[in-house]
Amino acid sequence: MNLHRLLLARAAEGRPIRIAQIGAGKFGSMFLHQARITAGMHVAGIADLSIPRARAALARIHWPEGSFDAASLDDAIASGATHLTQDAMALIADPRIEVVVECTGHPEAGLRHARAAIAHGKHVVMVNVEADVLAGPLLAREAARAGVVYSMAYGDQPALVCELVDTLRAGGFTVIAAGKGTKYLPHFHASTPATVWGHYGLSEAQAQAGGMNPQMFNSFLDGTKSGIEMAAIANATGLAPPEDGLAFPPAGTSELPSVLRPHNEGGILPRKGMVEVVSSVRRDGAEIPDNLRWGVYAVFEGETEYARRCFTEYGVATDPSGRYAALWRPYHFIGLELGVSVASAALRREPTGCGTEWRGDVVAVAKRPLKAGEVLDGEGGACAWGKCIPAARSRALDALPIGLAHGIRLKRDVPEGAILTTADAAPDPAGDAARIRAEMVALCA
């Protein structure tokens, strides 16, 4: 409740939080738009592989011309401007940077940047959920040993779900289920970058004109991104992923407490304490009027008659028994809210969500019959989608994480719907992502 006051104090002292951002894509641009007008923050440097692209992004979000032309980080810090560079590691290494915001969206780069930042004593805000799910618990432990914060990104749905869960638990409630909403139909799992725009009601020309990446948008559609986000929440909260993946039950906000309760009490959950994603449409495609497509929720339990009576007295949404209730937030602001994580890490030394244990994993599942010799094309591609399952099952199967299912060749045929294993396609053991992931698995085994 006091972050704004603390930011104002830093501004008054003339020592704003100095931030290095890596990646100036959509999420990063949304944060940059707000950071420029937030007291007590200074984005001193932005690293991007394409300086022209970064300049175009800053112009598009109304940064004043000339404010991102600092020739060096020294000049940027002295003048309050921003230095653009392709050298992320130089920004990370500078002792004047307090917080590194990693939003490249590239798992291997994200792990490399976060590990370097921690080694240099920087707080890390990991927008890159793909990297977090590959090895976040390892990075969190390394950050704790280094005395810095490793944090999920507020504004993104996993951190908002963690906030709901923490708020309810701090109030003494048992959380039964938590997650987010999305638009889901079973056949979306087979979607590819070549077919994705039809599901969004767009032509390929319209998508290209909007600068929309078909593989990224396909990851949102085919269930992979939902799986990644639920695994991150499981790792941060202790809520469990379903044994064989998310069910995506259709549910409006009024139905949450009824649908997301244990199956022996009329719901769909195998047991209490699960992550789950609800669909904004029925299985026939009909839109649910009070859907939660853009939002997050938590279902919790009133364990006594007194608590359930209080629910009734104050109009809390419950199931028919009055035992299970729900809180939700209907939308999220993505990068526009990310400053909460930056301020929390730098000023309170608290993460806005952090994976402490390896409880959930996202494994590659064949979208179609795959043939030996094919090269996998990663998250949102034409070969595989990502299913969220318990980490213990993933480890037992030696499953191939979706974050490593890119650019590697299949050794043998894989039938449609099968979980890929490292025996089917082995990641390069010398690659940073595979090496750091192996360290995380060994640590958490």
Do residues 299 and 417 share a domain? no
Do residues 177 and 294 share a domain? yes
Q: What is the pLDDT of residue 254?
A: 97
- Please check whether residue 298 lies inside any domain of the structure: yes
Domain count, the chain: 3
Do residues 142 and 177 share a domain? no
Q: Averaged in consecutive runs of 10 residues, what is the pLDDT profile of the chain (445 residues)?
A: 95 98 94 97 97 94 91 96 97 98 95 98 97 97 98 98 98 98 97 93 83 88 98 98 98 98 97 98 97 98 97 96 98 96 98 97 98 97 98 98 97 98 95 94 88
Q: Which CATH number covers residue 34?
A: 3.40.50.720
Angstrom distances, CA of residue 124 to CA of 60, 128, 157, 234, 411? 26, 11, 18, 20, 37
Which residues have CB under 8 Å from 60's CB, separation 6+? 29
Last residue of a domain, one of 311, 331, 351: 331
Structure tokens that stand for 397 in this block: 């199967």
- Please check whether residue 291 lies inside any domain of the structure: yes
Q: What is the pLDDT of residue 201?
A: 87
Do residues 305 and 163 share a domain? yes
Which residues have CB under 8 Å from 155's CB, separation 6+? 30, 31, 332, 333, 334, 335, 336, 337, 338, 340, 341
Q: What beta strand segments (E) does 268-311 contain? A: 274-279, 296-301
Do residues 13 and 133 share a domain? yes
Q: Would you tell me how many other CB atoms lie within 10 Å of the CB of residue 310?
A: 13
- Please check whether residue 342 lies inside any domain of the structure: no
- Please check whether residue 116 lies inside any domain of the structure: yes
- Please check whether residue 355 lies inside any domain of the structure: no
- The structure tokens 């730098």 sit at 346
* Residues spanned by the domain of 275: 158-184+223-331
Do residues 324 and 378 share a domain? no
344 alpha carbon, distance to own chain's centre: 18
Q: How many alpha carbons fall within 13 Å on the CB side of residue 357? A: 10
Q: What is the pLDDT of residue 1?
A: 78
Would you call 53 helix, strand, or coil by DSSP?
A: helix
Last residue of a domain, one of 331, 347, 381: 331
- Please check whether residue 280 lies inside any domain of the structure: yes
Q: What is the dihedral of CA 7, 12, 17, 19, to 10 degrees?
A: 110
User: CA 131 to CA 135: how far, in whole Å?
Assistant: 6
- Cβ(138)–Cβ(120) under 8 Å? no
- Please check whether residue 173 lies inside any domain of the structure: yes
Do residues 319 and 384 share a domain? no
With 0-12 / 13-18 / 19 or more C-beta atoms within 10 angstroms meaning exposed / middle / buried, residue 65 is: exposed
Do residues 29 and 167 share a domain? no
User: CA 437 to CA 123: how far, in whole Å?
Assistant: 21
Answer whether 0.95 is exceeded by the pTM.
yes
Last residue of a domain, one of 331, 352, 386: 331
> Which pairs with CB-CB distance under 8 Å and at least 24 residues apart come from 57-61?
57/24, 57/25, 57/28, 57/29, 57/32, 58/24, 58/29, 58/32, 58/82, 60/29, 61/29, 61/30, 61/32, 61/33
Do residues 131 and 273 share a domain? no
Structure tokens that stand for 403 in this block: 């974050």
Per-residue DSSP letter, 154: B
Do residues 165 and 112 share a domain? no
Which pairing describes strands 123-126 and 150-152: parallel, antiparallel, or unpaired? parallel
Helix (H) and strand (E) counts in the chain: 17, 14
- Please check whether residue 217 lies inside any domain of the structure: no
Listed residue (406, 433, 436) closest to 420, CA to CA? 406
DSSP 106-150: -HHHHHHHHHHHHHTT-EEEE--HHHHHHHHHHHHHHHHHHT--E
User: CA 133 to CA 138: how far, in whole Å?
Assistant: 10
Do residues 318 and 375 share a domain? no
User: CA 160 to CA 329: how far, in whole Å?
Assistant: 9
What φ, ψ does residue 107 adopt, rounded to 5°? Answer: -55, -50
Do residues 145 and 111 share a domain? yes
